[in-house]
Amino acid sequence: MKKPLVVVTRKLPDVIETRMRELFDARLNVDDTPMSREALIAAVQTADVLVPTVTDRIDGRIISRAGDKLRLIANFGAGVDNIDLDTARARGITVTNTPGVLTDDTADITMALILAVPRRLLEGNQVMNAGEFKGWSPTWMLGHRVTGKRLGIIGMGRIGQAVARRAKSFGLQIHYHNRKPVPKPVEDALEATYWDSLDQMLARMDIVSVNCPHTPATYHLLSARRLKVMKPSAYIVNTARGEVIDENALARMIEAGELAGAGLDVFEHEPAVNPKLLKSKNVILLPHMGSATLEGRVDMGEKVIINIKTFADGHKPPDRVLQAML
């Protein structure tokens, strides 16, 4: 049987690329240079399967130029806001993703930011690197303890629940906003309080963690108006998608002291970052590394391979993205 032509848009772990070459006619991106729109269009015109990453914009104009051979877009990532699902569906193209494998990695980095921002860990590290540490003082570099604080989680899916489990062990009180409450056994185990109203939850939280996907419904979910609902002493952590927060409004409020600080791993116009956030001492910025573990990347690649192999064998791939999931 002829191997499907699979175009991979970025470099993946060697073990994954090797297995792809064994199973498929895989065209790899060895030098890891992001593909231009023209290159993506050329890829969809010739490939049987496209393997993009979450930073590749596979919009309707690109998909509409796809050749008759393209029948599967196997996304290397859990989020699929980079793909025009409606156009793909109209063209009869199946879309898959890699859910579940990044839950713990992302929850770990979220918890790290929840701890690091109130305790001013980055500021302390900068003082040491600059050689400015002159000795201990009772009133110097004071932060805030997290034990006993209220954590509001926006989006109580796999990652949100994993964050809640970690935060509970640190003594935080768990609150959450979701489209609907999680099953009662889960809620009871986490001792979590559900808020139907996001505004009411935000007004009462000490720390807010964004863990929901980016969809049209969640774009600027934390708008300027909603950010102003929060307490000036509150912190925001975002390891989901930058578009969920109005970044300009967030930067202005932190600069004005209307919010205490933030820990951000994602940005609205990534890789660009608001200059006010870059200058702020009480903001920790990470380069979209929430899922950046070797184990996680390999697990993602294995899911991509399973989805392609299952599809090529004439079966429904296990990680098909359905409209109802959005």
Cβ atoms 7, 27 nearer than 8 A: yes
- Count of other CB atoms within 10 angstroms of residue 13: 17
What size, in residues, is the chain? Answer: 326
DSSP string, 252-297: HHHHTTSS-EEEES--TBTTB--HHHHH-TTEEE--S-TT--HHHH
255 catalytic, yes or no? no
CA proximity to 144, closest of 238, 260, 250: 260
288 catalytic, yes or no? yes
- Residues 6 or more apart whose CB falls under 8 angstroms from that of 324 comprise none
295 catalytic, yes or no? no
Catalytic, out of 120, 166, 214, 241: 241
Cβ atoms 293, 105 nearer than 8 A: yes
Helix residue ranges per DSSP H, the chain:
14-23, 37-46, 60-63, 85-90, 103-116, 121-129, 158-169, 184-190, 198-202, 224-229, 247-255, 275-279, 294-312
Catalytic, out of 89, 119, 288, 320: 288
Catalytic, out of 123, 255, 258, 270: 270
CA proximity to 106, closest of 322, 315, 309, 295: 295
| Angle (nearest 5°) at CA 95 between 93 and 101 | 165
Q: At what angle do helices 121-129 and 103-116 cross, to 10 degrees?
A: 70
3-class SS of residue 144:
coil
- As annotated, the active-site residues are 241, 270, 288
